[in-house]
Structures are given as structure tokens and as C-alpha cells.
A and B are shown apart, each in its own frame.
Chain A
Amino acid sequence: MGSILQLFVIIMVAAMLVVIVREQNESISFLLVLLLGIFVFLFVLNQVEQLFNLFQSIVSKFDVSLLHLDTMIKVIGVAYLTEFISQLLKDAQLNSVAVKVEIVGKLFILLLALPIFISVLETLMSFIPQ
């Protein structure tokens, strides 16, 4: 979709469209906002993918032992998605549901990060002399 300036222009135009459509009917304006969010997310995903490919190539080329790179990428993905959806729900004046989505997201990230906690605890325990 080209440079970031193009993206900002698209966002501004879409924002004006949303303002117009919101007068007429509320429901379709919410779908328009959702569509705009999806486009921004798709645009960002392309950039983020290049970033992660760079990390992976660094890890494989210089065999830098980034132990939990995969878990980190997953956590970033879940966090980003949860934030995206909870902001949308807040936009639709569904704050209670947004809070629930955030709680679920945090729990999911905790589940993802559990093995890291375990490995940290094990290393700590190994320092303590039996």
C-alpha cells in the first residue's frame, strides 16, 4: 500500500466518510471503522513481518541464542490483537466487553509466557546450594 503518507491520507479520508455515515446510520459507520482498523492493521503487518524475518535471520546467521524469540513474537501478536479488538469494542460503547477481552488477552499471554517463568525458576533454584 506504499509509504506511510499514503496510509495517513487513507485514514483521513476514511475518517471523513465515517463522520458522514455516522449521521445517517450508526451500525454501518461502526463497520466502516472496523474496516479502517483492518486496513491499518494489514499495512502494519507487512512491516512487522519484515522485522521478524530480520530477527530470525540474525538468530540463524550469527547463532545468537535468542532463547524465547518465538514466544516473544507470539506474545506481541496476542497483545496487539487484543488491543485492536478492545479499542474497537470501546468505540462501539461496549466498555464492559472490552475489559473482558483485555482480561482474556492478559491470561492468554500469561499462558504463553509460562515456560519462560519455569525456566527462570529452574535457573534460580540451581544457584541455591542444596
Chain B
Amino acid sequence: MQDIYILFQVAGVGIIVAIIHTVLKQMGKEDIAHWATLIGFIIVLVIVIDYLSRLFNQIKSVFILQMIM
């Protein structure tokens, strides 16, 4: 059940990063805004890659793909 929170967290990060981006753009600091978006993207990427590796390990065990993959 705790997986749903991950989805909400990722969506929250996406929205917050977008807001930060627009606020920084209004303040005139365009480049910092792009950096903020990039950092937000990296955070979400780390979370997703963690789940992706967990998924691939489970696939290897379920489908007996050890010696091939």
C-alpha cells in the first residue's frame, strides 16, 4: 500500500519544481530556474531507477532468466 505514496511524492515533486521554475523566472533568475528543474528531475529519476532495478531483479527471479540476463 505504501507504493501509492511514492506516486504522490513524485507528482508533488513535479508540481513543486514547476512552481519554483515559474517563480524564479518571474524574479528574473532564468538560469537558476533551469537548474532547479534539473535537480527536481534528478531526484525523481533516482526514485524511479531504484524501483526499476527492483523490478528487473524480480523479473530475473520469476522468469528464471538468471543465466541470460
User: Chain A residues near B8 (CB, 8 Å)?
Assistant: 17
Interface size on B, residues (CB 8 A): 33
Instruction: Please indicate the chain A residues that have their CB under 8 angstroms from the CB of B4 in the complex.
Output: 10, 13
Q: Which of A20-28, A89-97, A99-107 contacts B (4 or more CB under 8 A)?
A: A20-28
Which B residues between 41 and 64 are near A, CB-CB below 8 angstroms? Answer: 41, 44-45, 47-48, 51-52, 54-55, 58-59, 62-64
A38:B51 contact, CB within 8 angstroms: yes
Q: How many Å from the CB of A84 to the closest CB on chain B?
A: 9
How close is B35's CB to chain A, nearest CB, in angstroms?
A: 14
User: Contact at A32–B62, with CB atoms within 8 Å?
Assistant: no
Chain B interface secondary structure, helix, strand, loop or mixed?
Answer: helix
Give per-residue flags for A23-48: 1 if the beta carbon is below 8 A from chain B beta carbons, else 0.
01101110110111011011001001
B11 engages A20 (CB within 8 Å): yes
**A49 and B62 in contact, given A31-B45, A34-B48, A35-B51 (Cβ under 8 angstroms):** yes
In the complex, what residues of A have CB within 8 A of residue B37's CB? 25
Interface residue ranges, B against A (CB under 8 Å): 1, 3-4, 6-8, 10-11, 13-15, 17-19, 21, 37, 40-41, 44-45, 47-48, 51-52, 54-55, 58-59, 62-65, 68
